[in-house]
Amino acid sequence: MAVWIFGRTRWLQRFKLRSSLQRWQYRRLRQFLRQARIRFQFYRNQAGPKSAHHFSPIPNGDPAGLLQDWPPINKAVMQAEFSALNAIGLDRQSALGIARRAEAERDFRPQLQSLTIGLSSGTSGKPGLFLVSPVERLTWAAVILARGLDSISLRQLLLPWLQPLRIALFLRANSNLYEGLGSRRLQFAWFDLLAEPQQLRERLQQFQPHILVAPASVLVWLSKESDGLLALRALRQIFNAAEVLPAADRLAIEKRFGVRPQEIYQCTEGLLGISCQSGNLHLNEDFIYFEKEWLDERRFHPVLTDFSRSSQAFIRYRLDDILEIDPRPCPCQTSRLRIKQVVGRADEVLYFQRSAARDSSGGPGAPGDASAWQPLFPDSVRQLMYSSAAVIRDYQITQYADRLVLQLDLPTTAQSDQVVARIRKDWQQRLKQLQLMCPPIVIQAWQAREPGAKQIRIRSLIKAVDRI
Ligand SMILES: [Zn+2]
């Protein structure tokens, strides 16, 4: 099964034509939705999904048409209706109990009816529960390997007289998602982010991975803190998983290890995309159908329907993530959507009010009008912070309704007064250019993150209701 998916994904289905990808999606989606209505209690009594459309004999058509009657959901609905949205009717409390016990004991083996129960770290709000079946787990591994391995790594995996391929995974929770995937040709080593940093570094040095998979913050930490202490001689590929990797950090990692980091775009909701051999991120549209909720002409919130997943229903599921599309064709020739970057999450978008100058110039949006607030996307904020003071080791920006709070991690050698003055000035100038009002900027002392905590550099606490 896994070998078939690996072969199909790597060699058979390149989807050079958008039309053939859409035909594939249409057929798969139609079949999946027919079963979903029976499999998941949440949809059994819904009027919409019963529409005759799903039984139409038309062999191909627009996949969006199949979904129009299905209700959009999000993380809150998924957690509230957890038992109705999983295939075995498992209730949230029991699932939470199992997942929490596994987290506390750092023993991620417990399974229920062969399903793996995982708990996502949850950057905002409650942690999310997820279920994965053995087939889904193997599909996950097969797709990552088929799409992610370069030709040398692939050769090493397939040729029995070469060393097995060693993959180091730095992950917040192991869950048995990743255990039992190893084979004679493939060795996985799991590195628990809650372990002592020194211990992690020593184990990594000993393991000598060919491939390193870790969240961006860990890759940055490894590249900065381990100079002279870590020599990864066999390292050939690096993947950033589950965090936004800013361009400046990407360069630092590449400089340190001599390997350009690739992307695995994955979250609780599944494996959404992975870099191709040309180094560009593509969405896994042959497993997931993506609708787009546009924010401007390039950026959107993905609304996903995972037609390869049967343990839990992700149907018209809206993500908080913001993706930026890259309309250029990719040298790898796939027609799967090319993503320029994962810009960030909805709560990383800062909002500023238009300045009076713009209102008097006849622009729409009088004071008090909701449209008078303008978004500043996290990629612009990261760019501003980097170009303002490259000396900053790390930072955290929190926006409140009446102020912007900045925490800066500066080396002791830095002229901190000058850096702070420069950053203030750059913020004021940038917002002025955009004809936006700059709120008071408050500088606070740097507070180090908890070990293993998710990296959150930008956060807006302004709610939509405050912007009215
Ligand atoms: Zn490509």
CA of 27 to the centre of ligand 1 (A): 24
CA of 104 to the centre of ligand 1 (A): 40
Residue type, 262: Q
pLDDT, residue 200, reads: 87
Q: Judge contact between 13 and 286, C-beta under 8 A.
A: yes
Rounded to the nearest 5°, which phi and psi values hold at 71? Answer: -70, 135
CA of 64 to the centre of ligand 1 (A): 24
Query: Please, what CATH class does the domain formed by 349-467 belong to?
Result: alpha beta
Pairwise CA distance, residues 22 & 348, whole Å = 32
Pairing of strands 350-353, 373-376: antiparallel
Please choose, from the candidates 163, 153, 94, the residue with its C-alpha nearest in 3D space to the C-alpha of residue 129: 94
Please choose, from the candidates 214, 203, 244, 255, the residue with its C-alpha nearest in 3D space to the C-alpha of residue 349: 244
Rounded to the nearest 5°, which phi and psi values hold at 168? Answer: -100, 125
pLDDT, residue 364, reads: 47
CA of 337 to the centre of ligand 1 (A): 9
CA of 78 to the centre of ligand 1 (A): 32
Pairwise CA distance, residues 100 & 94, whole Å = 10
Helix (H, G, I), strand (E, B) or coil at 38: helix
* DSSP 8-state secondary structure symbol assigned to residue 183: B
For the chain, the residue count is 468
Domain ranges of the chain: 1-343, 349-467
- What are the helix (H) ranges across 118-191? 134-148, 151-158
Pairing of strands 288-294, 373-376: unpaired
pLDDT, residue 363, reads: 47
CA of 8 to the centre of ligand 1 (A): 17
What protein residues have CB closer than 5 angstroms to ion ligand 1?
A: 276, 278, 280, 330, 332
Pairwise CA distance, residues 255 & 37, whole Å = 51
DSSP string, 40-95: -HHHHT-SGGG-GGGG---S---HHHHHTTSPPB-HHHHHHTGGGGBTT---HHHH
CA of 305 to the centre of ligand 1 (A): 22
Pairwise CA distance, residues 148 & 146, whole Å = 6
Percentage helix, strand, coil for the chain under 3-state DSSP, each rounded to 5: 35, 25, 40
- Number of Cβ within 10 Å of residue 78's Cβ equals 21
Q: Judge contact between 119 and 103, C-beta under 8 A.
A: yes
CA of 338 to the centre of ligand 1 (A): 7
CA of 291 to the centre of ligand 1 (A): 20
Please choose, from the candidates 193, 228, 191, the residue with its C-alpha nearest in 3D space to the C-alpha of residue 209: 191
Write down the pTM of the prediction: 0.86
CA of 14 to the centre of ligand 1 (A): 10
Contact partners, residue 138, CB within 8 Å, separation at least 6 = 1, 2, 5, 181
Conformation bin of residue 258: beta by default, left when phi > 0, alpha when psi is -120 to 50: left
CA 378-320-283 angle, 5° bins: 90
Tokens of 164: 């097995």
CA of 247 to the centre of ligand 1 (A): 19
Helix (H, G, I), strand (E, B) or coil at 124: coil
pLDDT per residue of the chain (468 residues) written in tens, 0 to 9: 778 888 888 888 889 999 999 999 999 999 999 999 999 999 987 755 555 455 555 555 788 889 988 999 998 899 899 999 999 999 988 888 888 887 777 776 657 777 888 777 655 556 678 888 888 888 888 898 999 999 999 999 999 999 999 999 987 665 556 666 677 888 988 888 777 888 888 999 999 999 999 988 889 888 877 667 788 999 999 999 878 888 888 999 999 999 999 999 988 788 999 999 899 999 999 999 999 999 999 999 999 999 999 999 999 999 999 999 999 999 999 999 999 999 988 889 999 998 875 554 444 444 445 457 888 999 899 889 888 877 888 899 999 989 999 999 988 877 888 889 999 999 999 999 999 999 999 999 888 877 667 778 999 998 766 666
Query: Please, what CATH class does the domain formed by 1-343 belong to?
Result: alpha beta
CA of 274 to the centre of ligand 1 (A): 9
pLDDT, residue 121, reads: 61
Pairwise CA distance, residues 287 & 302, whole Å = 14
CB burial string 214-231: b at 16+ within 10 A, e below:
bbbbbbbbbbeebeeebe
Detail the DSSP E strand segments found in 361-462. Answer: 373-376, 394-399, 404-409, 441-444, 458-460
Contact partners, residue 270, CB within 8 Å, separation at least 6 = 287, 288, 304, 306, 309, 314
